[in-house]
Structure 1
Amino acid sequence: MVKKPAPDAARRSERSRRAIYDAALALVAETGYPRTTIEAIAARAGVGKQTIYRWWPSKADVLLEAFLDLAEQAARDAGQVPYEIPDTGDLAADLKAVLRLTVDQMSDPRFTAPARALAAEGLVNEQLGRQLVAELLEPQLQLYVHRLRAAQDAGAVRPDADPRIALELFVSPIAQRWLQYTGPLTYEYTDTLVDYALHGLAPR
């Protein structure tokens, strides 16, 4: 009698986790955050809802983890893992390069629908909003802070500038345009933001 190999629990768990990620992202894109439920995620993923509750305490935690995983996959596809802002010595070129990658990501249909749903819900759901800021937004902003501080050390940014405020000159307009559909999100647009932020509007 041939002895069958024991099931690989780790592989099965990873397969279930992936199915749950995919189901959560698809549902929030199709129906919106309020109508996405643990039961619906479980049914779509082909798992029991107890499996989801074993790993996550709420649908917010499921969706946020799924979204973070999606963002990491997108960065990996773009060759940006570990994700960081390059430091070639040319601050303008480095910022333009990373913002162009941001445009690519924010234009990716896989990213856009769940990102919009989570961003909209984060405005009215205080807990989810705090999670989005702490786990997704703030780590990314700190990369800009680090790069701007390096530019200060190199004399490319004036020493009295606050990097945390300075980064908003180019990051915040992108978020506003993307969320409110006030114009196309293009390389030309983000390049121009960097030029305006670093050189101002006064004649040179």
Structure 2
Amino acid sequence: MDRVISSYSPSLRALVHGRRQREAAAGHSHALLIDVEHTENHPHLPQARAEIKVVSEICESMAIRPVSVGQSKQDMLSGLRNCKIFHFAGHGYTNGDDPSKSHLCLSNTSDPLTVGDILKLNLHEASPFLAYPSACSTGRVQDDKFVDESIHLIGAFQLAGFRHVIGTLWKVRDKHYVDVARVTYEAI
């Protein structure tokens, strides 16, 4: 199998909303690229930097300027407000008790980027093209009582205003992320 098209929408409302969104006429043309190779109490991700390098090169070939900001939550929230593409290479965490506290792990582990933080963004006017949280379990819901709610990182980026979101439902080995990102961006 050399071609696969997968699609997932957390709800019919999200699907209809996504189809109605149009690219902003004067939209930003840069990609916010973040790699968090080292996170306290998590395994080292030696391929995170290589993944961002591959994505950066492909973005440049598409006339999308790659930018990076600091790895703090505030830096990332500021960058998310002005990007066309957001790509994060690092760890994700799913909180089974409170899905709104599921998050992308940052260098400062005491202040991660949570589902709740992302949901507070209002990016609908800018209508950014793609959020790609390249981290484990970004679409995972641990407790069955929350399955219908779609409270996870993928859903948060979509509800914040990103037209397309790519994520994972389970753990993936670090070495595979670079190739998956390359193939994905080359197909855009």
TM normalised by structure 1 equals: 0.25
TM normalised by structure 2 equals: 0.26
> Which structure shows the higher strand fraction?
2
Taking CA–CA contacts closer than 8 Å with sequence separation of 6 or more, which of the two structures ends up with the larger relative contact order?
2
> Which structure shows the higher helix fraction?
1
